[in-house]
Chains A and B, each alone.
Chain A
């Protein structure tokens, strides 16, 4: 399996996942590019026996997104209005709610970080519950419940809105 083929097949799910996790499309482009740079460097050490390629790539994407938030999280001019909705300390959620480039990102800002991640993996990357569990290090059932809870919360918020 050549990296070029892997990249062509998986650039879409990776970009869609990243796009749901950062506020703007420009940021998503930057992070997606970094994901594939890192993936290319560590491609020779990829072990197919330890998991699927898409899971491996999305694992790299999760770290890249976390790095992005560590670097840029404090610089973002987050509007504090509505931030009290956050149940826990969640700068990503705060920023997405106030700065998300589109409706879907603003709505995902109301979820907990874990739910947001699971929903992004299910809807953006189209992973199955088993694959989400593999990426997040939880069981398929737990992943399914996480997505279900996240979508339920979105439904409430959107109905209220």
Chain B
């Protein structure tokens, strides 16, 4: 029995040499025919087809969930609205708050709000970017939401905007977590 195993092992070594192009001439014609017939060159159509399929899945997999997209866009809109408001209606905002108007901080603050709005919108475009969106936008949105309470009875529009930002900031983190959880579950399903 051991002799048979040894013979098969030697045959397998020869086969390995044949498949690796290192000779293997001792193997029989059937093996040589199989080695040739079983290994044609991959047609370009197969590579193109798989390329396309992998690209489609890759793009689809990178798309965040619908709720995450909606909330990220909503938060982005709120931030940009505040930023543009600071740029074009800073004086009116300051009047309503009963504060002196300072163009310089209003202008820079406005630009910063637009930038953070873009950051929030990035979370709606790509799942890879959504983590950065949550990390940067949620703390700011919650901070602004809490700040909104200080404007109660002073500036209704400010209260509405800041509370909206705070709520959307919390929702962004919740949707991001749900999206990650669902994606992990989908992966487990594929694996099984």
Contacts and interface: CB of A to CB of B under 8 A. Distances in A.
A148 B11 contact: yes
B26 interface: no
A151 B61 contact: no
Contacts of A11: 42, 46-47, 50
Interface string A139-161: 00100110110010011001000
Given A42-B191, A103-B37, A15 B46 contact: yes
A102 B47 contact: no
Interface residues of A, number: 43
Given A42-B187, A126-B19, A33 B8 contact: no
Give the residue among B11, B12, B28, B49 with the most A Cβ atoms within 10 A: B12
A40 B58 contact: yes
Contacts of A20: 38
Given A33-B49, A151-B31, A158-B30, A40 B39 contact: no
Interface in B144-162: none
B102 interface: no
A7 B57 contact: no
Contact of B53 (A36, A129, A141, A158): A36
A9 interface: no
Contact of B37 (A7, A25, A102, A128): A102
A129 B12 contact: yes
Nearest to B8: A148
B28 A155 contact: yes
Nearest to B41: A12
A86 interface: no
Interface of B: 5, 8-9, 11-12, 15-16, 19-20, 28, 30-31, 33-35, 37-40, 42-43, 45-47, 49-50, 52-54, 57-58, 61, 186-188, 190-191
25 contacts: A3-B58, A7-B50, A7-B54, A11-B46, A16-B42, A19-B40, A29-B45, A33-B49, A33-B53, A34-B53, A36-B53, A37-B54, A42-B187, A119-B38, A120-B38, A122-B15, A123-B34, A123-B35, A123-B38, A126-B39, A144-B8, A144-B12, A145-B8, A151-B31, A155-B30
Given A37-B54, A45-B188, A148-B11, 7 more contacts: A16-B42, A29-B49, A45-B187, A104-B37, A123-B39, A144-B8, A147-B12
